[in-house]
Structure 1
């Protein structure tokens, strides 16, 4: 199986373990570390990085070449959008809707989806392309899973901080693609010198090299 598929499943299982932490249910209705997001809604958004994948795998793929990974982000309307922008309001509403039945139901759904994907992803052929209907555009499966892998890693940290538990640590084979993607996005946003200095020269490091 392709390493990105393995990495994605590793991060998905880690996210399910985090969702099972009693602190998540305890803080369900509290404010999260993200502006305007309840813990429950953030948990729903984290789980959506698992729950949405089967639907994407089932989506018909129209003719045409898939876009590249960085092109996918260049087309995204949420990058840089303020917290009250329609796209971010929609993301929060979606998280709340997914989490509407409570922490136990969300955990069960996410766990079942990981089990299904553990069987489905190895069976997908090399060169598989998926279509993102909300784009609308297509991506190579591995590029799509890289986007979900990054979301799982970043929002696991958000959720862990929100409920006061340690951030789950992923093995290098799962974290390295996330760091590579974030670094590429940061270079595109801030330029090579800024990112190089942030990583190597404290005396010249810029104040901000965030990818988003």
Structure 2
């Protein structure tokens, strides 16, 4: 999982440093109410914030299951004006406030630090997510970051009008497995089964988040 995450994080560092992203920095992104800059900042936080979380001491709280993390999260299914989503946009703006070159440099520095840190990290160690108040294992936390990266590299590439970076199978397999579990929890197994196997009876959506 460690090396899978680092592969995903490398894609983030490369994309936020792409001059074609910088060229459309202040334009609207593919996501409603987010500029390209805010989206790039939000994506970069899957690396910069991860470095901060993993450096923190282990909490006293026991880690919760991965799927429960999403069922507890306020942003899942929330309106764009919900405070949870407003905070996501605001933190993305703040992360990108110094411009594309500074964001690219900070993301690359965080990735370099993560390479060193993760070489000795323990997958089962609990880590606190300070923006939620609960803990996950390192492995589950990195899976959440890979999901964020997989979704938002596509958003950012589409926003810049460039091809979406191809992420390796080692990244996509756990991400798609997690999305499947979340879709089943949200829509039920029959809806997911029909969506994947019977076009004539497929539901309108099986969006997981």
Displacement of 1:143 in angstroms is 0.2
Q: Tell me the equivalent position of 1:178.
A: 175
Q: Tell me the equivalent position of 2:24.
A: 27
Q: Tell me the equivalent position of 2:208.
A: 211
Alpha-carbon contact 1:128-1:140 (below 8 Å) kept? yes
Q: Tell me the equivalent position of 1:37.
A: 34
Alpha-carbon contact 1:61-1:138 (below 8 Å) kept? no
**More off after superposition, 153-162 vs 121-130:** 121-130
Displacement of 1:58 in angstroms is 2.5
Q: Tell me the equivalent position of 2:12.
A: 15
Q: 1:126 to 1:76 in 2, by over 3 A?
A: closer
Displacement of 1:144 in angstroms is 0.3
Within 5 A, what are the aligned runs for 1:42-81?
42-81=39-78
* Distance in 1, Cα, partners of 2:8 & 2:170: 10
**More off after superposition, 63-72 vs 29-38:** 63-72
| 1:96 and 2:96 correspond | no
Q: Tell me the equivalent position of 1:199.
A: 196
* Distance in 2, Cα, partners of 1:174 & 1:52: 19
Q: Tell me the equivalent position of 1:110.
A: 107
Q: Which runs of 5+ in 2 are unaligned?
A: none
TM-score (structure 1 length as normaliser)? 0.96
* Distance in 1, Cα, partners of 2:8 & 2:149: 6
Q: Which runs of 5+ in 1 are unaligned?
A: none
Query: Considering only aligned residues, what root-mean-square deviation do their CA atoms show, in Å?
Result: 1.0
Q: 1:126 to 1:147 in 2, by over 3 A?
A: closer
User: Out of 147, 153, 158, which is 1:156 matched to?
Assistant: 153
C-alpha distance after superposition, 1:114-145 (max 9, x if no partner): 11101111211342111112221111100000
**More off after superposition, 189-198 vs 13-22:** 13-22
Q: Tell me the equivalent position of 1:147.
A: 144
- Residue 47 of structure 1 aligns to a residue whose secondary structure is helix
